[in-house]
Amino acid sequence: MSKNSLGTKKNLTVSGQSYEIFDISQVAGAADLPFSLKVLLENLLRTEDGANITAEQIKASLHGIHRLNQILKFNLLLLV
């Protein structure tokens, strides 16, 4: 069960069935990430328990993910 410190937990109802999702669009900068890094971010949000994964770690990871994304874009530009 996630602590939901960043307020991303939502309920999605499909055909009468309710599902718990973590909406990464609520996280600043998530829209600019490649799909694979969005999956990583959603996993961190879903498994936040306050002990093994904290909100601070998620925020730090997001900063690292953005930095990695910038490096990858720069390296791709060098290849062109």
User: 57-64: which pairs have CB atoms within 8 A and are 24 or more residues apart?
Assistant: 58/5, 58/6, 62/27, 62/29, 62/30
- The alpha carbon of 8 is separated from its chain's Cα centroid by a whole number of angstroms, namely 9
Predicted pLDDT of residue 80: 65
In terms of pTM, does the model score above 0.75? yes
In whole angstroms, what is the distance from residue 17 CA to residue 35 CA?
A: 26
21 has which bridge partners?
A: 10
The pLDDT tens digits of the residues spanning 4-37 come to: 999 999 999 999 999 999 999 988 888 888 898 8
Which pLDDT band holds residue 39 (cuts at 50, 70, 90)?
A: very high
